[in-house]
Chains A and B, each alone.
Chain A
Amino acid sequence: MSSKRTAAFPAEDATVSEGVIVPETAGRHRPATAASPGEPLLVVEDLRVQFTRGGRKINAVNGLSYELAPGSMLAIIGESGSGKSVSSRALMGLLPPTAKISGSVRFDGRDLLGLSEREMQSLRGGDIAMVFQDPARSLNPTMKIGAQITEAVRLHSDLDKKGAQARAVELLKLVRLPAAERRFHEYPHQLSGGMRQRVMIAIALAGEPRLLIADEATTALDVTTQAQIMELLVELQQRLGMAVIMISHDLGLAASYAQDVVVMYAGRAVEYAPTKVLFANVRMPYTHALLGAIPALDREPHSLFEVTPGQPPDLSALPKGCPFRPRCSNATDQCLEMPPFTEHDPEHWFACWHPVGSGTGKHTANGEQR
């Protein structure tokens, strides 16, 4: 079983890489993009998640599709409530039983949605791992961090207790936690937010995952720490050759790190392309609005800025047709019909009747309004 691999990650050489991260392996392990040939690691197709709460149906994810090549980084971007967390938790079988999930999720050729709880359990923390947003709440406050990592190591290897503990210390060094041996015996409350998030990443790496999902892993941190954690994730992605799904509100963050970007709105993918392609030619008016909001330096990082007037739609009463229509300046009567999500340009998918730059809307090709 792949989850029983025992080969260790390259051990951290602390003298070489204290402080500044030098991605010496960058380029050599240049991860494949969505465009590259070969089997994708993950294929999500028409994923739908519906909750029922108090008799009301909440359509949190409404037909989400994307692909992820082995070793590459994909960013999922969208406003709060757009279904980023729900869709990624659905992949790992972490949603409550009230969630109705449909569509298909193929990981390495296996259909994840059809797996039994037992099979899913060995996959969780093994081939697929996850790091969460709030490091203050994601660690068990009553357990030493060493024990929390060791637990994960033991679940996904044949190592005995001693070996697993040694491995856990190694992992703490790998994520550059200062004084790893001492921190091993400390409790989460004794660590800063950035250190806790490093511990979370160490836990995620314990099973040598091929896919790491970072659900706003840097949102709760201050700006400097945010950059350090992002650098760490990118470095680990390249060194360990794992694929990463990076979930964020921040299109700018995606632009700096990810190879591909999925923009989500009201539970749907509305635009999907390699980062370079996307930024050269943004087509979907919602992405365009997101982009327009980036240069404002005075805004708080990750703040829930209003990208465009209006509110995201009520997920239990979605509007007819394009969900962005009530806020869209390009909208016409045609938008009362749902625009299909298709590959309009090579590698460039989006769902819109009147995309930016097509001449039919008010947006122009170079991104200026009016």
Chain B
Amino acid sequence: MTATATPRVPVSRDPRVSPLSRLTASPVLRLVVKRLLMAIPIMLGVTVLTFWVLSLIPGNAAQQLLGPEATPEDIALLEQQLGLDKPGVVRYFDWLQGAVTGDLGNSLVSRQPVSEILSARLPVTAELVFLAFVVSLVLAVPVALLAAHKPGGVMDRISMMISTLGLSVANYVLALLLVLVFAVSLGWLPAIGYTPLEDGLWANLRGMILPSAAIGFPLFCYYTRFLRGDLVDQMQQEEYVTTARAKGVGSWAVLIKHAFRNSSFGLITIVGLNLGALIGGTVIIEQIFALPGIGQMLLQAINTRDFVVVQAAVVIFALVAVVANLVVDLLYAVLDPRIRYGSR
């Protein structure tokens, strides 16, 4: 018998190892450092690309600000004030220089510091995404478990029907439907607008229910489908499930204690990968529901050719995607024993 000699104690606990090599020896820390280093070229890539695409759109912030009646002289003067007369490359590096030192610059249009704009708008988008995420996940898990307990049963068929429907409807169509039913016909919830949290939790939530439902429902459908499929696969194909059943474990306990535990890794991946697409989805939903979030800010900034603000939004989106992937990998490292001890 060859013992697979896996050290129980992580290497980093060895007192003889120097702090520096301890840092690189810890698989978790190595992962974090690696991902953050990888984020740098990603950030550079997306900002360069955004800058270039914006420069292809006719018009600039000066023209947008002064309107169609403005004389060429006025426009030239404002361009000079805003620094828009400089070549694109120079403008990009000016912006980059500020950005790496933490100064994201001022809006070309409102002259407000971008950091101020972000601190006002980020909470709105974050709340929207958070609600959509949590609610969809909290609902998807029990529904998927119910469906997977009896594949082909009533619960399974109902949940599959709903989720197929949910996945085939675009979220803006769903948003309009929700407004039509719950705001216009029933009058239960406001159709548009945002109430800050300071004005009361309920007032704030009332405004967020429809937009987060519009984002969360397709997510719920997606998670339910994925999890149900993975659970059924585990139950039908994995031998450890047969072992559990042969032990006398009841069917629900096999599903929840054994299969779900293994399916959760796949679910975490899906959730993490989804986050990027989800943030993209907020742009249109914030527009429909007139929510003053990052997505709405991005659309307005594109219209006014306010490249400083656009860059800020793009950086935020990219950062969220990178961090989400990192969090998924870290969760894996924490939850999956095969990775936790650095052996496979």
A binding-site residues for B, Cβ under 8 Å = 92, 94, 96, 117, 121-126, 129-130, 132, 134, 137-144, 151-152, 155-156, 182, 186-187, 189-195, 200, 203-204, 206-207, 224-225, 228
Contacts and interface: CB of A to CB of B under 8 A. Distances in A.
Contacts of A117: 251
A165 to B, nearest CB: 16
5 contacts: A139-B243, A140-B243, A141-B240, A151-B244, A195-B3
B6 A190 contact: yes
Contact of B248 (A121, A140, A182): A121
Given A152-B248, A195-B3, A190 B262 contact: no
A19 B247 CA distance: 29
B339 to A, nearest CB: 10
B247 A125 contact: yes
A124 B262 contact: no
A142 B239 contact: no
A207 B246 CA distance: 11
A231 to B, nearest CB: 13
Contact of A151 (B8, B239, B249): B249
A92 B262 contact: no
B247 A138 contact: no
Nearest to A193: B1
Closest 5 CB pairs of A and B: A125-B248, A125-B247, A137-B239, A187-B337, A194-B1
Contacts of B71: none
Contact of B344 (A139, A189, A191, A206): A189
Nearest to B6: A190
A203 B247 contact: yes
A195 B344 CA distance: 17
A132 B4 contact: no
A189 B4 CA distance: 8
B248 A130 contact: no
Contact of B247 (A124, A190, A193): A124
Given A124-B248, A151-B247, A203-B247, A142 B262 contact: yes
Contacts of A134: 239
Interface string B261-285: 1100000000000000000000000
A124 B253 CA distance: 15
Given A132-B243, A190-B343, A194-B1, A141 B338 contact: yes
Interface of B: 1-4, 6, 8, 236, 238-240, 242-251, 257-258, 261-262, 335-338, 341, 343-344
B266 to A, nearest CB: 12
A195 B3 CA distance: 8
A186 B244 CA distance: 18
Contacts of A186: 8
B243 A138 contact: yes
B243 A190 contact: no
Given A151-B249, A203-B247, A140 B1 contact: no
Given A121-B250, A141-B337, 13 more contacts: A96-B236, A130-B246, A132-B242, A138-B243, A140-B262, A187-B338, A189-B4, A189-B344, A192-B4, A194-B1, A195-B1, A203-B247, A206-B247
Nearest to A198: B1
Nearest to A195: B1
A352 B152 CA distance: 44
Given A121-B248, A155-B249, A186-B8, A132 B239 contact: yes
B340 to A, nearest CB: 9
A147 to B, nearest CB: 10
Contacts of B244: 140, 151
A161 to B, nearest CB: 15
B4 A191 contact: yes
A72 to B, nearest CB: 21
Contacts of A141: 240, 262, 337-338
Given A187-B337, A189-B4, A189-B344, A140 B246 contact: no
Contact of B3 (A121, A129, A187, A192): A192
B248 A94 contact: no
B243 A189 contact: no
B10 to A, nearest CB: 14
Nearest to A186: B8
Contacts of A156: 248
A134 B344 CA distance: 18
A192 B2 contact: yes
Nearest to B246: A130
